[in-house]
Structure 1
């Protein structure tokens, strides 16, 4: 009996394997409302708040992975989002934003999963890939929405500014090359894909919980 081996570059296999859940995240009720310009600014602020907690967990994992021979290849200081999110929340929520925000239950579950998965370099990379490559690419659609709908060109929308990476397409290509060259065998690559699927499901869960308040945040 022959065994079929996936001969595609790992980055291509990872992208193909997560395409369905990626689309579910992009076309969730909350994201459709946001990108359709249907929400008040406060409706977007709720997402920014959740990202503060998620990226706090991912970037703490980045700090822990800095010296890892595999995970360290995916630690990019120029990608760090927390400083920008903090400036955004100071603008969107106010100077006392730290004491005014709490994570949703789905967000806390996401944070817990990041912390658990990041005990292994492949798990860390799965969550890192899921968020940052999406922010650099599709996230720019949200950036344009924030500019056009709310006039947020700087503070309030800095999360989507990646001024430090140079050419976004070249950065993405270099990132994919690191995925392709990571020293994972077939079983470990399968584990990375499985964890990336979990990461996307975590994002979907956050969007679904935010969608429960859509009526509250719809623009008139």
Structure 2
């Protein structure tokens, strides 16, 4: 079976595996999941996440209704508002007043602003790296945060997808969208490249968080 025969979603997953695994092995992630960081570190992760989800979801609104990628803009995936709820609980209602982007977060936001509103493949690349990760590995993080910090629902709503009945069938649907979209010549390759950029940007945020909390 050739790479083309196995479908674009499989090619995308294979083409980003190395960068994905590097992000998962970051010092900050391992320390957080190992229970070695204060609750403020977890709140710090969510606060930085709020900044790039804010831009990503504004870009999604710009693409809503697009004949090629509009189907990727799925309301049940949106995370910005639940991140705000978690931060209200974890850091208090004044968390926005103290929120400052880390240098890597600023780079991440800048990249999203640069390509997320104008290049449909780039938007999907960032959309894919964020939301499919939330639906899979994010569930492990939710359980660990509940165990480590004694949380129930408040504080981990970011990882709860109430409008996605079953994650596995939804992931299959998402991959079918990737396979079926009428990408232009060269868009698949550039989408894989941009997804790797997204994983590197995410890993850089973890590195900055490690400098601050580890």
Q: Deviations over 1:76-119 (max 9, x none)?
A: 00111011001011111111111121111110110111121221
Looking at structure 2, the residues matched to 178 and 86 of structure 1 have their Cα atoms a distance apart, in angstroms, of: 29
Q: Deviations over 1:53-73 (max 9, x none)?
A: 010011000110002112211
Looking at structure 2, the residues matched to 78 and 132 of structure 1 have their Cα atoms a distance apart, in angstroms, of: 10
Looking at structure 2, the residues matched to 59 and 15 of structure 1 have their Cα atoms a distance apart, in angstroms, of: 22
Looking at structure 2, the residues matched to 214 and 34 of structure 1 have their Cα atoms a distance apart, in angstroms, of: 10
Q: TM-score, normalised by structure 1?
A: 0.93
Looking at structure 1, the residues matched to 29 and 211 of structure 2 have their Cα atoms a distance apart, in angstroms, of: 12
1:87 equivalent among 78, 85, 88: 85
Matched ranges for 1:2-17 at <5 A: 6-17=4-15
- Choose 38-47 or 125-134, whichever is displaced more: 38-47
Q: TM-score, normalised by structure 2?
A: 0.96
Answering whether residue 64 of structure 2 is matched by residue 51 of structure 1, we say no
Instruction: Report the number of matched residues.
Output: 212
Looking at structure 1, the residues matched to 61 and 156 of structure 2 have their Cα atoms a distance apart, in angstroms, of: 25
1:73 equivalent among 68, 71, 75: 71
Q: Which residue of 1 aligns with 2:209?
A: 210
Deviation at 1:186, TM superposition (A): 4.9
Q: Which residue of 2 aligns with 1:37?
A: 35
Looking at structure 2, the residues matched to 84 and 54 of structure 1 have their Cα atoms a distance apart, in angstroms, of: 14
Looking at structure 2, the residues matched to 156 and 70 of structure 1 have their Cα atoms a distance apart, in angstroms, of: 35
Q: Which residue of 1 aligns with 2:119?
A: 120
Unmatched tracts of structure 1, length 5 or more? 216-220
- Check whether the contact 1:52–1:82 (CA below 8 A) recurs between aligned residues: yes
Unmatched tracts of structure 2, length 5 or more? none
Looking at structure 1, the residues matched to 112 and 213 of structure 2 have their Cα atoms a distance apart, in angstroms, of: 27
- Check whether the contact 1:88–1:156 (CA below 8 A) recurs between aligned residues: yes
- Check whether the contact 2:125–2:194 (CA below 8 A) recurs between aligned residues: yes
